[in-house]
Structure 1
Amino acid sequence: MTRPLFNELRGHLEAFLVGQPHLIQELLVALLAGGHVIIEGVPGTGKTLLVKLLAQSIQSQFRRVQLTPDMLPSDMVGVNVFDFNQQAFSLKQGPVFTEILLADEINRTPPKTQSALLEAMEEQQVTLDGHTYALPPLFWVVATQNPLEFEGTYPLPEAQLDRFLFKLVVDYPPPAAAKQMLVNFQQGFHAQRQDLEQLTAIATVEEILASRRSVEDIAVDEKLLDYLLALVEKTRYHPDILIGASPRASLRWLQAAKADAWLNGQEYLLPDNLKTVAPPLLRHRLILRPEAQLDGIGIDEVITAILEQTPVPR
């Protein structure tokens, strides 16, 4: 997939989900980097709509599962069912057998079901009754959660959060964008109808996979590797942070920064690329000390301070 075509895809999404350009950019970086995403925001801010639009725009297989407290792991990955006609077991596939999976309100389902996603997300495969089933090459999970409700929810453990490349935070759209949403609605665009199926596809799954391979060609100077390691070390010894970034986080950080560079039309990595992807990549991986939380210090505030205090290589 060429870079101009990716820009066309971005413009296509922005035409329907107005007022969220940063969210769209970060989601495309994650798709290009092959990293799963968790989106946090209050209901009605377009989280589900954005993923549906993206899946339709690249002609991909798409499944949406509404997670609930009574869901079992088998509801997620599938189950082997005995076929009396064939006198053999056959796999009834769960929703993970797709290219783009939208896991709505992931914090509403119990830990057993949440953990059923772990192998699929990390290994791109599912193991049932001793048999391993490969998932599609594109397999990409986008999970959503509501930050305002805590009763009856199951917060994701740190081990599972680390499987997500980005945590994106959706805010309310500005007034101008909110008005444009009303105009679009008045002109007949209703996301809950068949409108999405009628949208013209911009790209194909094969082009997305080819673009991921192109990201590997982004040149990285050794000084930038040292800069990245310095940033990671800062997260581990910052006075407001209890637990810093893991080695896995540093690898994902580099991959996401290269994807950001590719999207910007660069042939090599710049420090700004590492800085740009830092907030969505770190905000769910760093754990603040209780004293910092009591003082009202936010995680994004700490990330910004780390980026400002770390010398940039010349």
Structure 2
Amino acid sequence: MKYAAKKLAALLATMLAVSFVTFAAFQVVAGDPATDRLGTEATPERVEQLRHEMGLDRPFLVQYGSWLAGFVRGDLGDSYSGGPVADLLAARTPVTLALSLMAFALTAGTALPLGLLSVRRGGRVGGAVRTAVNQLLTALPPFFTGILLTWLFSILLHWFRHGAFPGFSADPAGSLWYLLFPAAAIAIPRAAQTVRMLRSTLLAEMDRDYVRTAIARGNDRAGVLYRHVLRNAAAPAVTFLAQTMAEIVAGSIVAEQVFNLPGLGRLLLTSISGRDYPTVQAIVVILALWVVLVNTAADLINRRIDPRIGGEAA
């Protein structure tokens, strides 16, 4: 419990620092939001009036405190394009969340069995071919993989209609089917990376003395692998998968552009090009929160696997 409390305190402190730096950065780079919002209709009087309405004439720390209190309550302010930022995010978040979870499921669901299978078979049969294929898949960027999948499954096979995402409210099953293809584009290179990491970690563990002793005593190699080696190698695998989960969200930004998905990634790029800083600021903090939550969860899982992690007695 003490370890979990420390990780929670670290999470809150990290998010407080991230929110402060993000808010301060956009205060600097945004220039005068009131002038940007008025555009050609800006006059000194109207700018001053709008600055007062937006609270920009208040001290910086007061503005930050007000924004942070609103963020905690779910009030993310108003978009420069009109409407609450929270409403924009609520409409886009389910797409990005479903895409990210599906991509992670594909990554873990294919990489873990393949990694274990390559170690179980001794790691030498077809090694050169396996390495070449793994390096090729790892080198493929998600946008190029997405283009290939679109060409194959949309243009040639007509399994889905590119650019015609139906939306969860209209067709939940059809939406999940559509998301399968961008999820695969994200998952393919990351699954290859995970297989390589898992294989190298397990092979290093298989070379330890306790494994050689167990096999010399007549224990089955596969049995030793699943009963002992896998547990001892679980912590680095969990850490790597947590990093993968965080990277998948970044990969979804590219995939949403390629597959024309109405998610947070497209909203982020559109808001940046439109200088909609309140929306960009909220998305950046939410993505940072996602990364911190995933890494905190990985630390807690690793603590559960190995109580020695953290330097405290179990």
Q: TM-score range by the shorter chain?
A: under 0.3
**TM-score of the superposition, structure 1-length normalised?**
0.21
Structure number with greater Rg is 2
- Give 1 or 2: higher helix fraction: 2
**TM-score of the superposition, structure 2-length normalised?**
0.21
- Give 1 or 2: higher strand fraction: 1
